[in-house]
Chains A and B, each alone.
Chain A
Amino acid sequence: MSGEHAHAHPNYIKIWAILVFLLLVSVAGPMLEHPIITLITAFGIAFVKAFLVAKHFMHLNIEKKLATYLLCTAVAFMLLFFAGTAPDIMRHEGQNWEHQSAKHETARALKAAEHDPAAH
């Protein structure tokens, strides 16, 4: 990397070709309309693409570990945020509470979609 000893560069065009191939799979997979296949092809492949970009284009594999620790710390905080707030957002009722406006909005939107699929 710049400022240090020059390093051997991987074949970037080959990595780009793999990324484009993965993009095509991630678009084609969900067309099968199977939830598991959609999950794997759309989101699983997104993680693979992110890994390839981070490793080969951002050179995290040859960067000092400090950079990886920095990035992982931010991701950990993001996951902590998700874990702390998701139960209240993803569910619309609990043992002692009810999110009435969310329930009403979901019911309203689904009913509207039944009558007019193009409704928004």
Chain B
Amino acid sequence: MKPIATTRSVTGIPTGRLAIWWVITSEIVIFGGLLASYIMHRLGHEEWAGYAAHTNTLAGGTNTFVLLTSSLTIVLAHKAAEAGDGRKAFRFIWCTIFGGLTFLVIKSLEWTAEIKAGYTITTNNFWSFYYTAAGLHGLHVIAGMIIMGIISFQARRNKELQRVELIGLYWHFVDLVWIFLFPLLYIAK
């Protein structure tokens, strides 16, 4: 028997999914505040265009492609879970985890090159924003990968399949944040 909190639904939205919407709502305030701060500083300091010229557009673009593709695989996992095919959902979830891992490897190579070139988090305010925003996003990627790993084994046994959709919503939000970080940090030069 499940606790009442997982089965009742006053709003018409299942409780777990409602909780994820609340998580995403709070994340909007966190990332929104950070990005809004970046935008106002960027517009107030014309010299930041010169700093932004040193970011690696190819790495940022490749990572955007990787995250968009991982969003596809996790929504396909959700589709499989909804059809009751836990094993197929399991495979798609691990494709998504692989996407997250690829993202982190590219990000690590990119940061290594930038730090070697002398651009660190203490260089100036632009690089502080750059590492803080991308780092906070990276932590969300890692958290998502860990949760997906746990959920995948439940899904393979056809248990708690609704959780595939819940982690999918979170992962799409992580993708959404990057969709805005990419032009702000890599394109506007």
Q: Are A102 and B44 in contact (CB under 8 A)?
A: yes
Question: Which A residues are CB-close (under 8 A) to B26?
Answer: 74
| Interface of A, helix, strand, loop or mixed by DSSP | helix
Interface segment out of the listed B50-58, B131-139, B143-151: B50-58
- How many of chain B's residues have a CB under 8 angstroms from any CB in A? 66
Q: How far is the CB of B24 from chain A (nearest CB, A)?
A: 7
- How many of chain A's residues have a CB under 8 angstroms from any CB in B? 55
Task: Using A16-B72, A71-B21 as known contacts, say yes or no to A46 and B29 having CB atoms under 8 A apart.
Answer: no
- Give A92 to B32 CA distance when docked, in angstroms: 23
- Using A43-B188, A70-B25, A79-B36 as known contacts, list a sample of 18 further A-B pairs with CB atoms less than 8 Å apart, ordered by residue number in A: A2-B165, A3-B16, A19-B68, A23-B61, A23-B68, A27-B57, A49-B68, A50-B179, A57-B72, A58-B173, A64-B12, A66-B21, A77-B29, A78-B28, A81-B32, A82-B39, A85-B40, A89-B41
Q: Can you list 12 residue pairs at the A/B interface with Cβ under 8 Å? A: A1-B165, A3-B9, A15-B72, A20-B65, A42-B183, A46-B179, A49-B179, A54-B172, A64-B11, A79-B36, A90-B40, A92-B44
- Give B residues with C-beta under 8 Å from A: 9, 11-14, 16-18, 21-22, 24-26, 28-29, 32-33, 36-37, 39-41, 43-47, 50-51, 54, 57, 61, 64-65, 68-69, 71-72, 75-76, 78-79, 81-82, 118-119, 123-124, 127, 161-162, 164-165, 168-169, 172-173, 175-176, 179-180, 182-183, 187-189
